[in-house]
Amino acid sequence: MNVYDSEKMVELLKPLGYSTTENPKEADLAILNTCHIRDKAEQKVFSDLGRLRIHQKAAQKLGKDLVIAVAGCVAQAAGEEILRQAPYVSMVFGPQTYHRLPEYLARNTNHLVDIDFPVESKFDFLLKPDAHKVSAFLSIQEGCDKFCTFCCVPYTRGAEYSRPVKAIIDEAKILVDQGAIEITLLGQNVNAYHGENTDGAIWGLARLMEGLAKINGLKRIRYTTSHPRDMDDALIQAHVDIPQVMPYLHLPVQSGSNPVLKAMNRKHTIEAYHEIINKIRKKRPDILVSSDFIAGFPGETDDDHRQTVQLILDYIDTGYSFCYSPRPGTPAAIADNQIPEEVKKVRLYEIQEVLLHKQLQRNQADVGKIMPVLVEKVGKKQNQFVGKSPYLQSVYFQGQLRLLGNIVDLKITAGQANTLEGEIVTMVKAG
């Protein structure tokens, strides 16, 4: 979502004469769009700011300037504190106010902090997309009302909000006109989507994807991140009925143990999670299931951890895992049964080992299959290209430049833990 937000900021700045650069020495404005989800991401902000300060000083020596702004969830959470720690920063603004960026620049102030949650929706002020990408992001839902005890999102992104149906379909049409053949719908709880249509009817995510699938030229639809509590039957059925909906489900569970899920305030049981995965696999046996795991949540026992490992072995194909990171202001951060860092790390390592094992198993089972692969970029080796399978696996193959941006059929020839290798399927002429 930060990538999407950054693209939107760039679009807001273009009419003011700004363009993007890869070289900080050329920049006269630098915006750090930040993430607050774990401590590591937050620390990175301050080291990045230190580096930008060096460029700012160099620019000032030459009689120029580099205006530094901090956007995103660290800005939202830390506010004034950023200016205290880094007084050379000019602007601090959160994820729900960046549509005011042109106004901030016009004000030309050196000490601006805007961490409002305005009543107006920022989406009404954003400009039409200017993405020109084969695979594009589209935010449809933001914020969260679920308040898991470890998570800062409800405090930084604010209350749950669903964009109206028409705004989303219009944006998707423009993205497709600009060359997108794949769109990933984004939301902190994307499957909690309940947007209003022009006739006043409320559409859920399944209905929305049905509407999007009617757009000519849109070949692939994905969505992330979904929550087990909002995984309804209509959404499961969408993976069967709508050919554009890809056979991939990212459904974070965090832990395989009921007492931990309860302490996390996830408000579902592990049995309910099993049921969802069983249901969807029954309808779409090929679906690839991904999840998120937190190692060492306060109070997690060895037995709880073993249940997480067992869940991965039994139900999960791939996933992301993190050591529990106490976030200021969240209930779990002040729990008195914190797990020592070394224990968290050992548990994380075990989770990652078993995830790698599962990925390898899945990828090797795909050898010999023919898959439509969306060719996205040039690889490092000669004539090498990298694409994405329907299951979001990266596939490396030998090809030609003209294939970039197209979907080609590849026969999978090898599978490693993180990648597949394939070759172009050549037609064999009959007779």
Q: Which residues contact ligand SF4 by CB under 6 A?
A: 144, 146-148, 151, 153-154, 188-189, 227
Q: Closest CB to ligand SAH among 293 and 397?
A: 293
Answer yes or no whether residue 230 interacts with ligand SAH by CB under 6 A: no
DSSP-assigned letters across all residues of 130-144: ----SEEEEE-EE--
Residue with the two structure tokens 């004469």: 17
Answer yes or no whether residue 254 interacts with ligand SAH by CB under 6 A: yes
Site string for ligand SAH, 94-133 (x = CB under 6 A): ----------------------------------------
Tokens of 219: 């070949």
Answer yes or no whether residue 157 interacts with ligand SAH by CB under 6 A: no
Q: How far is the CB of 340 from ligand SAH (least distance, A)?
A: 15
Count other C-beta atoms under 10 Å from residue 332's C-beta.
22
Q: Closest CB to ligand SAH among 265 and 384?
A: 265
Answer yes or no whether residue 322 interacts with ligand SAH by CB under 6 A: yes
322 binds, among ligand SAH, ligand SF4, none (CB under 5 to 8 A by kind): ligand SAH
Tokens of 327: 């976030």
Which one of 2-10, 81-89, 173-181, 320-328 is the stretch in contact with ligand SAH (CB under 6 A)? 320-328
Sorted by sequence, the CB contacts under 8 Å of residue 410 that are 6+ apart come out as: 370, 371, 372, 373, 387, 395, 397, 422, 423, 424, 425
Q: Closest CB to ligand SF4 among 294 and 412?
A: 294
Long-range contacts of 265-272, Cβ-Cβ distance < 8 Å, separation of 24 or more: 265/146, 265/147, 265/148, 265/149, 265/331, 266/148, 266/228, 266/229, 267/146, 267/229, 268/228, 268/229, 270/307, 270/311, 272/228
294 binds, among ligand SF4, ligand SAH, none (CB under 5 to 8 A by kind): ligand SAH
Q: How far is the CB of 320 from ligand SF4 (least distance, A)?
A: 13
Answer left, alpha or beta for residue 154, where phi above 0 means left and psi between -120 and 50 means alpha: alpha
* H or E stretch at 430: none
Q: How far is the CB of 96 from ligand SF4 (least distance, A)?
A: 15
156 binds, among ligand SF4, ligand SAH, none (CB under 5 to 8 A by kind): none
Answer yes or no whether residue 188 interacts with ligand SAH by CB under 6 A: yes
Omega of the bond prior to 224 within 30 degrees of 0, cis?
Answer: no
Residues that bind ligand SAH (CB under 6 A): 37-38, 150-151, 153, 188-189, 225, 227, 252, 254, 292, 294, 322, 324-325, 327
